[in-house]
Each structure stands twice: as structure tokens, then as C-alpha cells.
């Protein structure tokens, strides 16, 4: 899964990228001349893997991964109600979710385009930019459908009419300031919506970038911001980007010592990964054996048959059944053999809904 990091100028988005990925991206004047995004792949912390690896004597551990992309430059006029377009829009559309970095720190050495630091205003401005981009895309799509209707066959007109109805419904919602992720289009329209790649349909992670002086009250700030900005498909996190970036460059032992002395709590990486999982509504199922113990991230609620495809298409194609035991039951019983004897290792069919922490062995035939 890929999460694109966006933000207004001098919000600290590259700083947050470095904090979340332990990266070394330039944080000053990451200008429009840069052609490619900074890319960071983060291993998802999961202590369950270590326990299973010992139990199964695995040769290696493979955590799930989250990819963060810090896109180059900021389009001129971003935040001034002009919408997002061009190559910048294309890059954002390719992401599974967006992380909006919002400035919540005071620093006279980092100038601002506005007279005041106002995180709420900046969130609203950026949400408006994304909505304007979606409206422009839907307007163009409506025009193409109208042109297509003139030369379409009778059977094709039915499908085009359905698409037109969806486009107009989404436009009306956006014009009423309701992002697509909060609208309720019919289930059969999801395929079409994925083709549109609308920005306001994507899960959104709002990252409030606080100053080090705010460290003692981060939880309080997060609760306040969440009350005002968290909604379905929108998650909120507060972190001290500059401090977390500096800590992330240290050796693990040194970082732990400094973090403890500052009472800084869990790392920016852990905060970002956990909040990203919530925003994307992800869970992890686990596989364990002599060769490897691995975590696989999937969307909550998908069936065992679909989850099998995450491992290999052959397993999904030749699916027979899934042998499933919860992580807690496996640890309690001590082995798969004992879990089977106690009846907590179950045989599940294609439509079994996978749960976080399921330890799975797929049986298949191709």
C-alpha cells in the first residue's frame, strides 16, 4: 500500500516523511525541480512475529510494509482554491491513501504565507483543493459521457446513463461540501469510482506537525484535533516532526535513551504506521513455518479466498480450505498440533472473514 504525503508550503511534510521512515530526504527547498518523489518503505512493528518465529524455528521474519511517498515541490497557488492538477494530481491519484501534513508549530525561522498559524484553516483549505480537483474531473467525465451518448448503441446507453447518474450524485455531494468518502453511492458503483481515482474518496490521515514545546500535551492536542477533524475515513495524529526526525537518525539504543529522558512515548514511525492502518482499515493475518514467519496486510472484512491471493495467485486459484487459528489461541496452546487437539485450529471455507491475528495455513491444488 502506498500513502502519499502532501501539505502546504513549510508545513514540514518532508520532515514528517523522515520521521515516519527514518529517511534522509532534504527538508529545505525541496523544490519543484525535483522530478521523483522520496520513497520510504516502513516495516510494520508486530511483536507477534517474533513469538511465532521462535515457536516455529523460522529462518526469517518478514513484517508487513507500508510505503510512504513525499512528492516533490508544491504546486504554485496550492491552498488558494485553484484545485490540484497536472502531474502532481497524477501522482496523488496513484496512492492508496493520503497523509496531509498540517503546520501546528511556531518557528520564526520558518516563514509562513499567512499572518497566523492556523491548523484548522489549513486543513479546510487543503480539503477544498482536493474537492475542486474532484469536481473538475467529474465535470470532464460528464461531458465525455454526454458526447458518448450521441453515438452509443441502445445497450451502451444504459451503462452510460448509470455512470452519468453516479457522476451527478458525486458532484452534488461535493458541491454540498461532502467528500466522496462520506457519500453513500450504490455498492455496484464501486468499480466505476475506483476508475475515477477521486482524491476525496481516498482515506485521509491528517498529521498535525507540532513543536517540541508541545511535547507534554500531545495527547491533549490529538484529542482536540480529532474532535474537530476525525470523520469516517479520516484519522488524526499529532507528532513533533522535527524532534522525531532527529530521534529517528539515532542508533536504536541511543534513541530509546533520549526518548525516555524526554518522555516522548512511542516513535513517530509507530504512530504513523498505526494511524495509517486505521485510515486504510487494514488488519494483518500471519503465516508461520520453518522457512519464514510473515505478516500480510489486508482490508478488514475480506474473505479467506481473497486473502489467499495476497500470498500467491495459485493459492487463490486452487483454494481448497484454510486452516485457521487465532494468534492468542496458538500461543496459549503452544503448538499447531495442540491447537488442533483442543479444537481451536479450524477448517474454514472460501467465505470465512479473516480476522486480525489469524494464523493461516492454506490448502490448495493447481
Q: What is the DSSP string of 212-279?
A: GGGGGGHHHHHHHHHHHH-BTTEEEEEE-HHHHHHHHTS-HHHHHHHHHHHT--S-HHHHHHHHHHHH
Copy the grid coordinates of residue 84: 490540484
Q: Which helix (H) or strand (E) holds 284?
A: strand 282-288
Q: What is the DSSP string of 12-74?
A: -HHHHHHHHHT-----S---TT--S-EEEEEEPP-HHHHHHHHHHT-S-EE--EEEEEE-SS-
Average pLDDT over the chain, rounded to an integer: 90
pLDDT tens for each residue of 40-55: 999 999 999 999 999 9
Structure confidence at residue 266 (pLDDT) = 87
Structure confidence at residue 229 (pLDDT) = 94
- The answer on pLDDT for 34 being more than 80 is no
First to last CA, the chain: 28
- Most distant CA pair in the chain: distance in Å? 72
Contacts for 335 with CB less than 8 Å, ≥ 6 apart? 55
Q: What's the whole-number mean pLDDT along residues 138-150? A: 90
- The answer on pLDDT for 1 being more than 60 is yes
Contacts for 25 with CB less than 8 Å, ≥ 6 apart? 14, 17, 18, 38, 70
Q: What's the whole-number mean pLDDT along residues 269-298? A: 94
pLDDT tens for each residue of 202-242: 999 999 999 999 999 999 999 999 999 999 899 999 999 99
Q: What's the whole-number mean pLDDT along residues 258-286? A: 91
Rounded CA separation 65/234 (Å): 21
Strands 2-7 vs 97-104: parallel, antiparallel or unpaired: parallel
Confidence label for 30 from pLDDT (cuts 50, 70 and 90): very low
Q: Which one, of 56, 65, 59, 63, lies nearest residue 288 by Cα?
A: 56
Contact 109, 16 (CB under 8 A): no
Q: Which residue has the higher pLDDT, 207 or 265?
A: 207
Structure confidence at residue 29 (pLDDT) = 52
- Range with lowest mean pLDDT among 143-147, 185-189, 308-312: 185-189
Domain 130-200 matching CATH 1.10.10: the answer reads: no
- Any idea which residue has 512493528 for its cell? 45
Structure confidence at residue 265 (pLDDT) = 83
**Which one is the CATH code of 2-115+202-280: 1.20.120.640, 3.30.70.100, 3.40.50.1220, 3.40.50.300?**
3.40.50.300
Confidence label for 335 from pLDDT (cuts 50, 70 and 90): very high
Q: Which residue has the higher pLDDT, 182 or 24?
A: 182
Structure confidence at residue 31 (pLDDT) = 46
Kindly report, as residue ranges, where domains of CATH 3.10.20.30 are found in the chain.
Answer: 301-364
Cα–Cα distance list, 155 to 145, 179, 189, 227 (Å): 14, 32, 18, 48
Rounded CA separation 17/248 (Å): 11
Sign of CA dihedral 167, 169, 175, 181: negative
CATH architecture of the domain 301-364 equals Roll (3.10)
Confidence label for 186 from pLDDT (cuts 50, 70 and 90): confident
Structure confidence at residue 337 (pLDDT) = 92
Contact 52, 289 (CB under 8 A): no
Rounded CA separation 102/207 (Å): 6
Structure confidence at residue 293 (pLDDT) = 98
pLDDT tens for each residue of 95-137: 999 999 999 998 877 777 777 889 999 999 999 999 999 999 9
pLDDT tens for each residue of 237-263: 999 999 999 998 999 899 989 988 988
Kindly report, as residue ranges, where domains of CATH 1.10.150 are found in the chain.
Answer: 130-200
> In whole angstroms, what separates CA 74 from the centre of its chain?
21
- Any idea which residue has 496523488 for its cell? 92
Kindly report, as residue ranges, where domains of CATH 3.40.50.300 are found in the chain.
Answer: 2-115+202-280
Amino acid at each position: 500500500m502506498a500513502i502519499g504525503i502532501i501539505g502546504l508550503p513549510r508545513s514540514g511534510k518532508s520532515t514528517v516523511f523522515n520521521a515516519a521512515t527514518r529517511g534522509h530526504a532534504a527538508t529545505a527547498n525541496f523544490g519543484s525541480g525535483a522530478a521523483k518523489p522520496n520513497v520510504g518503505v516502513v516495516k510494520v512493528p508486530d511483536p507477534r512475529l517474533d513469538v511465532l518465529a521462535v515457536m516455529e524455528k523460522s529462518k526469517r521474519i518478514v513484517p508487513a510494509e507500508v510505503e510512504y511517498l513525499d512528492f516533490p515541490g508544491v504546486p504554485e497557488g496550492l491552498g488558494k482554491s485553484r484545485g490540484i492538477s497536472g502531474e502532481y494530481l497524477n501522482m496523488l491519484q496513484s496512492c492508496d491513501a493520503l497523509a496531509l501534513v498540517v503546520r501546528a508549530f511556531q518557528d520564526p525561522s520558518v516563514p509562513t504565507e499567512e499572518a497566523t498559524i492556523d491548523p484548522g484553516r489549513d486543513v479546510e483549505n487543503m480539503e477544498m483543493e482536493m474537492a475542486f480537483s474532484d469536481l473538475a474531473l467529474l465535470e470532464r467525465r460528464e461531458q465525455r459521457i454526454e458526447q458518448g451518448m450521441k453515438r452509443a448503441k441502445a445497450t451502451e446507453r444504459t451503462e452510460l446513463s448509470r455512470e452519468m447518474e453516479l457522476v451527478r450524485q458525486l458532484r452534488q455531494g461535493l458541491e454540498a461540501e461532502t467528500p466522496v468518502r462520506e457519500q453513500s453511492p450504490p455498492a455496484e458503483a464501486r468499480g466505476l469510482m475506483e476508475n475515477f481515482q477521486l482524491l476525496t474518496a481516498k482515506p485521509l490521515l491528517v498529521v498535525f506537525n507540532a513543536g517540541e514545546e508541545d511535547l507534554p500535551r500531545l495527547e491533549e492536542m490529538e484529542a482536540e484535533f480529532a474532535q474537530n477533524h476525525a470523520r469516517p475515513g479520516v484519522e488524526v495524529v499529532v507528532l513533533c516532526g522535527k524532534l522525531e526526525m532527529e530521534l529517528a537518525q539515532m542508533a536504536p539504543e541511543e534513541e530509546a535513551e533520549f526518548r525516555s529522558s524526554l518522555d516522548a512515548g512511542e516513535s513517530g514511525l509507530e504512530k504513523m504506521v498505526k494511524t495509517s492502518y486505521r485510515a486504510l482499515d487494514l488488519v494483518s493475518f500471519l503465516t508461520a513455518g520453518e522457512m519464514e514467519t510473515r505478516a500480510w496486510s489486508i482490508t478488514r472484512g475480506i474473505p479467506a479466498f481473497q486473502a489467499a491471493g495476497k500470498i500467491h495467485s495459485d493459492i487463490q486459484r486452487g483454494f481448497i480450505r484454510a486452516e485457521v487459528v487465532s494468534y492468542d489461541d496458538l500461543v496459549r496452546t503452544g503448538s499447531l498440533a495442540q491447537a488442533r487437539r483442543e479444537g481451536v485450529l479450524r477448517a474454514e471455507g472460501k467465505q470465512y472473514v479473516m480476522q486480525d491475528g489469524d494464523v493461516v495455513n492454506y490448502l490448495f491444488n493447481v
